[in-house]
């Protein structure tokens, strides 16, 4: 099968490495995704195991489409009855970069019409559209006149791990958090501090890395389970083999702090699904980072407000205070700051040893590394 794993810009290298580990072949990086080949087992593994993937698409038809009639004919020619039946529901998503097709919603509508017409002609019945949680998700991508028709095997975005009880405003994406942990070299051995934990996404993803818990462990819904050719025996083996690799807790602590008690409570509650695994090395504490200090060598990852959805009265002074606190109270540690406020980052006032450009959803952000030495590095 020809497949593509979608991700955020900047995470392609890490997704590529994950795909190698699950047995994917013919891997090619593209912007915000990785193309690869794989069998049914690899498809199921990609959905269950990949931490930096947003969704997995299966390419079922590729062709040139010069106009709407050509698009209709291409979609109509696909044997949709081999993938699902008239009693199931479906939806269509489209992404278009073309002078010939200027409205993605119109492309989705023509695709829907072609699918429905094929079923009507063959069975005198049609499947219904369900935009909320369809059995089948069809993806259309048109670049100029090249059209790729795919099945979305994931359904909901894979960042929805299904372990969270509570969310906060402006949450960190689970996929981005997983990518950040790979960038900082987190293995579970280090003491990890998230001093502005919000709803605990970074700590939760770190715990899954630490215990080698599959990214999809808490998910029940995947679109591929609704396909006519779903192989439950292969899926059950993929799940059983992966779950058998979950390891005992070991190594460093995961420290979740926030100055808001409400955030600490939400983080604690979001960790509740993991209680059967044991939470002895997880520390929750209400603490204002600007009044805290380090204990030993820490790996610190900070996702401060960007002054976007979460407003700060003096954003520049706030970032300056973060830098001052790191410099004087966390000597010997390594800190990373993720922010979409480029001007404020300049006020941290510390030398950076690495800068990575990423996206937090639609927001362009920078992920900055600061090595907190006493005096100069030399």
User: Splitting the chain (378 residues) into consecutive groups of 10 residues, what average pLDDT does each group show?
Assistant: 95 97 96 96 98 97 93 96 94 88 89 96 94 92 92 94 78 93 95 95 96 96 94 98 93 94 95 94 95 91 74 84 95 95 92 92 92 66
The reported pTM is: 0.92
Q: What is the model's pLDDT at position 203? A: 97
Q: What is the model's pLDDT at position 132? A: 85
Q: What is the model's pLDDT at position 312? A: 67
Residue 161 lies in a domain: no
Q: What is the model's pLDDT at position 305? A: 83
Q: Do 134 and 13 fall into the same domain?
A: yes
Q: Is 313 exposed, middle or buried (0-12, 13-18, 19+ CB in 10 A)?
A: exposed
In a 13 Å sphere around the CA of 375, the CA atoms on its Cβ side amount to: 1
Q: Do 147 and 181 fall into the same domain?
A: no
Q: What is the model's pLDDT at position 377? A: 47
Residue 11 lies in a domain: yes
Q: Is 357 exposed, middle or buried (0-12, 13-18, 19+ CB in 10 A)?
A: exposed
Q: What is the model's pLDDT at position 17? A: 97
Residue 241 lies in a domain: no
Q: Do 146 and 182 fall into the same domain?
A: no
Domain count, the chain: 2
Tokens of residue 68, six digits: 């709407």
Q: Do 122 and 188 fall into the same domain?
A: no
Q: What is the model's pLDDT at position 308? A: 52
Residue 129 lies in a domain: yes
CATH, residue 273:
3.40.50.150
In tens, the pLDDT along 220-253 reads 999 999 999 999 999 999 999 999 999 998 789 9
Domain that holds residue 190: 174-212+248-371
How far is the C-alpha of 47 from the C-alpha of 136, rounded, in Å?
A: 15
Residue 195 lies in a domain: yes
């Amino acid at each position: 099968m020809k497949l593509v794993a979608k991700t955020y810009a900047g995470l392609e290298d890490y997704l590529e490495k994950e795909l190698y580990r699950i047995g994917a072949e013919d891997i090619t990086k593209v912007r915000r995704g990785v193309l690869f080949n794989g069998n049914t087992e690899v498809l199921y593994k990609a959905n269950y195991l990949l931490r930096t993937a947003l969704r997995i698409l299966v390419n079922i038809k590729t062709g040139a489409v010069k106009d709407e009639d050509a698009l209709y004919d291409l979609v109509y020619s696909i044997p949709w009855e081999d993938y699902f039946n008239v009693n199931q529901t479906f939806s269509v998503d489209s992404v278009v970069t073309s002078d010939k097709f200027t409205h993605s919603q119109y492309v989705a509508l023509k695709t829907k019409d072609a699918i429905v017409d094929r079923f009507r002609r063959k069975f005198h019945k049609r499947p219904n559209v369900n935009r909320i949680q369809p059995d089948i998700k069809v993806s259309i991508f048109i670049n100029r006149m090249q059209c790729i028709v795919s099945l979305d095997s994931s359904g909901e975005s894979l960042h929805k791990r299904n372990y969270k009880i509570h969310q906060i405003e402006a949450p960190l994406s689970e996929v981005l958090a997983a990518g950040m942990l790979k960038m900082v070299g987190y293995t579970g051995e280090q003491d990890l501090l998230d001093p502005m934990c919000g709803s605990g996404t970074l700590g939760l993803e770190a715990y899954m890395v630490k215990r080698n818990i599959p990214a999809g462990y808490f998910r029940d819904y995947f679109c591929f389970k609704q396909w006519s050719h779903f192989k439950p025996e292969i899926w059950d083996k993929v799940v059983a083999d992966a779950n058998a690799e979950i390891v005992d807790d070991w190594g460093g602590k995961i420290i979740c702090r926030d100055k808001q008690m409400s955030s600490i409570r939400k983080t604690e509650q979001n960790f509740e699904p993991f209680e059967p695994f044991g939470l002895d090395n997880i520390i929750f504490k209400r603490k204002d980072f600007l009044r805290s200090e380090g204990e030993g060598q820490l790996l610190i990852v900070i996702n401060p407000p960007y002054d976007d959805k979460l407003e700060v009265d003096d954003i520049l002074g706030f970032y300056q205070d973060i830098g001052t606190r790191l410099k004087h109270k966390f000597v010997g540690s390594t800190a990373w700051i993720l922010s979409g406020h480029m001007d404020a980052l300049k006020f941290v006032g510390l030398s950076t040893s690495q800068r990575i450009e990423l996206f937090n959803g639609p927001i362009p952000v920078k992920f900055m590394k600061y090595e907190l030495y006493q005096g100069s590095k030399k």
